[in-house]
């Protein structure tokens, strides 16, 4: 992820659906970078509970309960509420209001053509029984972004079509009122190396696939995860030559081990043969234990006082409402529908 491209005049907005606690994949792909970016420019972080409800309305308990869990993850990794504005999407009604106007700037056909929506519909088996709120969430996401005049939106590669659709809405709106009210944004997508596979070697780490290591993982969870980690299935004896490509232990060492030279030497040794999985796993376990111990400790500390965390979210939400309210007034003002 090229944080260099972000400057003091930028405004960042990004967020997470609150469907479960965050994991190591989120840490590598986005959370780590947010900790850096909060020192560069204003950063808004959205707990996207309303968006999570678009395909989880029957599971609102899960969505609601994970607002606190995701907030704990943010705070645990070092996102500082004095620098980043963390807020709850459903408590900013200005976003729904903006979204209701944006819905008139997109067609159903265009929503159905959105590649992310298309994939997600297939994945969830919605076919034609797609909740209307789900089909239209790109317009709501455009509201999330534009309400804060965000210029930079750090997201996974799968979210790029959302940014394109947002910018279409921005241009349409600005054109229709013949004024530059809304601001176009750009996606900040992590580099390939920042995508962490699951511990089973599957392309994506995901809680629902059961191959994730959560940020609150205990020492024992970490030990178990490394023990079960996918290596080279053909590397049966220590003396055998082993494969490094697709070997999750090496992928993780690449992501987390600061000693590049040592990792390259280990790779060469593994390829030659004579290096056992136990040795590389022990090294990785040490590194992960060291990385996650302070995160777990901070998470537990904050978790002891949920009221304090909710107070942080309340203050952030208040600030977010003010910012979104200003944009909403401008939007309505541009159309002259601020009647009195």
Q: Give residues with Cβ within 8 angstroms of 57, minimum separation 6.
A: 131, 133
1, 10, 17, 270: residue in contact with ligand TRP (rule CB under 6 A): 17
Encoded one letter per residue, x for contact with ligand TRP by CB under 6 A and - for no contact, window 29-68 reads -----------------x-x--x-----------------
Two tokens, residue 187:
């996606």
Contact between 230 and 248 (Cβ < 8 Å): yes
Please tell me whether residue 255 binds ligand TRP under the rule CB under 6 A.
Answer: no
Q: CA 272 to CA 59: how far, in whole Å?
A: 51
**Residue least distant from ligand TRP (Cβ):** 48
The one-character DSSP state at 15 is E
CB of 325 to ligand TRP, least distance (A): 18
Judged by CB under 6 A, which stretch of 152-160, 188-196, 206-214, 275-283 contacts ligand TRP?
152-160
Interior CA angle at 174 toward 171 and 179, to 5°?
Answer: 145
Choose one: 7-15, 203-211, 212-220, 289-297; the region binding ligand TRP (CB under 6 A). Answer: 7-15
Min dist CB 17 to ligand TRP, Å, is: 5
For ligand TRP, which stretch binds (CB under 6 A), given 13-21, 205-213, 235-243, 310-318? Answer: 13-21
Question: Which range, of 2-10, 19-27, 151-159, 307-315, touches ligand TRP by CB under 6 A?
Answer: 151-159
Rg (CA), the chain: 22
Query: Does 14 interact with ligand TRP (rule: CB under 6 A)?
Result: yes
Order of strands across the sheet that contains 186-188: 84-88, 43-48, 12-17, 152-154, 186-188
How many residues touch ligand TRP under the rule CB under 6 A: the total is 14
Phi and psi torsions of 171, nearest 5° = -65, -45
| Nearer of residues 36 and 335 to ligand TRP, judged by Cβ | 36
The CA–CA distances, whole Å, from 282 to 115, 164, 318, 321 equal 41, 44, 46, 48
Least distance (Å) from ligand TRP to the CB of residue 257?
28
Stretch that binds ligand TRP, among 8-16, 174-182, 232-240, 276-284 (CB under 6 A): 8-16
Q: Is 12 in the site for ligand TRP (CB under 6 A)?
A: no
* Candidate segments 10-18, 122-130, 256-264, 294-302, binder of ligand TRP by CB under 6 A: 10-18
- Give the relative orientation of helices 160-177 and 93-102 as an angle to the nearest 10 degrees: 70
> 89-128 mask for ligand TRP (x: CB under 6 A)?
----------------------------------------
Nearest approach in angstroms of CB 259 to ligand TRP is 33
Residue 154 DSSP SS3 = strand
Q: Please spell the DSSP secondary structure of 162-209, one letter per residue.
A: HHHHHHHHHHHHHHHHTS--S---EEEPPPGGGPPPPTTS-SS--GGG
Q: Which DSSP string corresponds to 200-259?
A: TS-SS--GGGT---BTT--HHHHHHHHHH----TT--STTS----TT-HHHHHHHHH-S-
- Site of interaction with ligand TRP (CB under 6 A): 13-17, 46, 48, 51, 141, 144-145, 153, 155, 159
């Amino acid at each position: 992820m090229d944080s260099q491209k972000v400057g003091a005049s930028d405004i960042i907005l990004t967020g997470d659906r609150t469907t479960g606690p965050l994991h190591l994949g989120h840490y590598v792909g986005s959370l780590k970078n947010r900790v850096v970016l909060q020192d560069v420019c204003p950063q808004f972080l959205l707990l996207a509970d309303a968006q999570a409800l678009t395909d989880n309305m029957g599971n609102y308990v899960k969505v609601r309960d994970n607002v606190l869990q995701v907030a704990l993850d943010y705070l645990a990794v070092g996102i500082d509420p004095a620098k980043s504005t963390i807020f709850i999407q459903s408590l900013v009604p200005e976003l729904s209001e903006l979204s209701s106007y944006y819905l008139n700037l997109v067609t159903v056909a265009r929503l159905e053509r959105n590649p992310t929506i298309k994939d997600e519909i297939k994945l969830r088996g919605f076919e034609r029984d797609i909740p209307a709120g789900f089909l239209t969430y790109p317009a709501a996401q455009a509201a999330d972004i534009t309400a804060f005049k965000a210029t930079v939106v750090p997201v996974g590669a799968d979210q790029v079509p959302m940014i394109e659709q947002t910018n279409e809405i921005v241009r349409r709106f600005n054109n229709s009122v013949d004024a530059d009210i809304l601001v176009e944004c750009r996606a900040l997508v992590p580099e390939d190396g920042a995508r962490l596979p699951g511990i089973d070697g599957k392309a994506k780490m995901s809680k629902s696939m059961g191959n994730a290591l959560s940020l609150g993982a205990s020492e024992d969870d970490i030990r178990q995860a490394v023990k079960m980690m996918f290596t080279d299935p053909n590397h049966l004896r220590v003396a055998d030559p082993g494969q490094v490509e697709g070997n999750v232990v090496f992928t993780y060492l690449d992501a987390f081990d600061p000693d590049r030279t040592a990792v390259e030497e280990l790779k060469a040794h593994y390829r030659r043969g004579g290096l056992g999985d136990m040795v590389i796993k022990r090294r990785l376990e040490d590194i992960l234990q060291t990385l996650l111990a302070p995160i777990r400790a901070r998470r537990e500390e904050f978790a002891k006082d949920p009221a304090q965390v909710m107070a942080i979210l309340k203050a952030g939400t208040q600030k977010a409402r003010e910012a979104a309210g200003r944009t909403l007034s401008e939007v309505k003002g541009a159309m002259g529908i601020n009647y009195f």
